[in-house]
Amino acid sequence: MSTTAPPSTATTFHHHPNPDARSDEERERLVAAPAFGTVFTDHMARVTWTAGAGWADHRVVPYGPLSLDPAAAVLHYGQEVFEGLKAYRHADGSVWTFRPEANATRFAASAHRLALPQLPVEDFLTSIETLVAVDSAWVPGGDETSLYLRPFMFASETFLGVRPTREAEYVLIASPVGPYFPGGVKPVSIWVVRDFHRAGPGGTGYAKCGGNYAASLLPQQQAQAHGCDQVCFLDAATGTELEELGGMNVFVVAADGSVSTPALTGSILEGVTRDSVLTLLREAGREVTERGITLAEVRDGLVSGAVAEVFACGTAAVVTPIGRLASDDFDLPVGDGGTGPVTAAVRAQLTDIQYGRAQDHHGWMHRLLPPR
Ligand SMILES: *Cc1c(COP(=O)(O)O)cnc(C)c1O
């Protein structure tokens, strides 16, 4: 939604300031050189759900460990969902986030699939607005830096029986992050895994849940053992079509300039970046299709030159060029192994919008804080 969105009507988050908040000096040191996902701000937002009372006790509290009973359902049956988005500081000091309603809606859809309660979209948005306002000094200001926001929800009920939880916790934490590619964008190598799948028909592939990531880690380890950076999964039904990486969607650019990406089948995560890239490419006048893409087609296209570029996309790395594709029976460079022009252009277009360097014609940016 755009800046003209009406003020939020969601429940107020009560602020309990952290008495041990880091000093300005310590915070500035931490924000200056953040390693991804290792440094967190002074506060976190929380909302507690019970089957009897619904969502209650909206609060922003000091960041710190959660206390869980060893019999908490999430620790046994993995009833958990999460989201990932970023807050960007623009040149005038204002702070914005990108399409947060899309994340809020997906969070609710993921929760539904995992039989968790659905957090109202307004509460999701207000938790972000409130936490970023409280910890505004933690939003970095450098090139391609951001405050990574991680909303998540889990089954907190103390109960070992197998049924949907009657108690859940929603938590939002935030972590300042530096550029994903500190030395400039660098193509990654991809291992296409044959004997494992990330998700199957009717499963949880479209939901953003920790369990999908747990299932992707052994294949990811194998990809690394084969000298590749990341793993790409094939569809579980036929084992012939590209689905996505462990945490990023995938696009194929043909030599004629047309672009395709795997259609959403239920086992693919519907990325906000994927949708934004589709929009930008279509507006640029490209022929863009969502369809089944076989591995054979891509492999043959890399050999013949019919496939010019392959890239992955997601919030963390935005758009990542793929420079090499390998599996049990082939190992091929993509183009010359570098970053292709279509990949580079769409990456620049998207980051220019996110960092306020280009006009936001789509109403994708949501202002969190005014200029300072
Ligand atoms: C989060 C995620 C993506 C990317 O989604 P974005 O909304 O673009 O960040 C892609 N695939 C999987 C499996 C994911 O979990």
Q: What is the pLDDT of residues 200-228, one digit of tens each?
A: 999 999 999 999 999 999 999 999 999 99
Task: Check pocket membership of 209 for ligand 1, CB cut-off 6 A.
Answer: no
Q: Using alpha carbons only, give the angle 170, 363, 10 rounded to the nearest 5 degrees.
A: 35
Q: Going by CA atoms, what residue is nearest to atom 2 of ligand 1?
A: 247
Q: What would the pLDDT profile of 165-202 be if each residue is shown by its tens digit?
A: 999 999 999 999 988 887 888 999 999 999 999 999 99
Average pLDDT across the chain, whole number = 95
Task: Check pocket membership of 129 for ligand 1, CB cut-off 6 A.
Answer: no
Atom of ligand 1 nearest to the CA of 315: 9
Residue 8 confidence (pLDDT) above 60 = no
Q: What is the mean pLDDT of residues 69-90?
A: 98
Residue 356: the pLDDT is 98
Q: Which fold has domain 188-354?
A: D-amino Acid Aminotransferase; Chain A, domain 2 (3.20.10)
Q: Going by CA atoms, what residue is nearest to atom 10 of ligand 1?
A: 248
pTM score above 0.85: yes
Residue 2: the pLDDT is 42
Beta-sheet pairing, 85-89 with 54-62: unpaired
Task: Check pocket membership of 262 for ligand 1, CB cut-off 6 A.
Answer: no
The answer to whether the 14-177 and 188-354 domains have the same CATH topology is no
Q: Going by CA atoms, what residue is nearest to atom 1 of ligand 1?
A: 247
CB 269 within 8 A of CB 206: yes
Task: Check pocket membership of 10 for ligand 1, CB cut-off 6 A.
Answer: no
End-to-end CA distance of the chain: 22
Residue 11: the pLDDT is 86
Task: Check pocket membership of 271 for ligand 1, CB cut-off 6 A.
Answer: yes
* Bridge partner list, 80: 154
Residue range 14-177, CATH number: 3.30.470.10
The residue extents of the domains of the chain are 14-177, 188-354
Determine whether 163 is exposed, middle or buried from the number of CB atoms within 10 Å of its CB (0-12, 13-18, 19+).
Answer: exposed
Task: Check pocket membership of 117 for ligand 1, CB cut-off 6 A.
Answer: no
Residue 115 confidence (pLDDT) above 50 = yes
Task: Check pocket membership of 320 for ligand 1, CB cut-off 6 A.
Answer: no
Q: Measured between alpha carbons, how far is 74 from 355 in angstroms, rounded to an integer? A: 37
> Is residue 4 very low, low, confident or very high in pLDDT (cuts 50, 70, 90)?
very low
Whats the size of the chain, residue-wise? 372
Task: Check pocket membership of 249 for ligand 1, CB cut-off 6 A.
Answer: yes
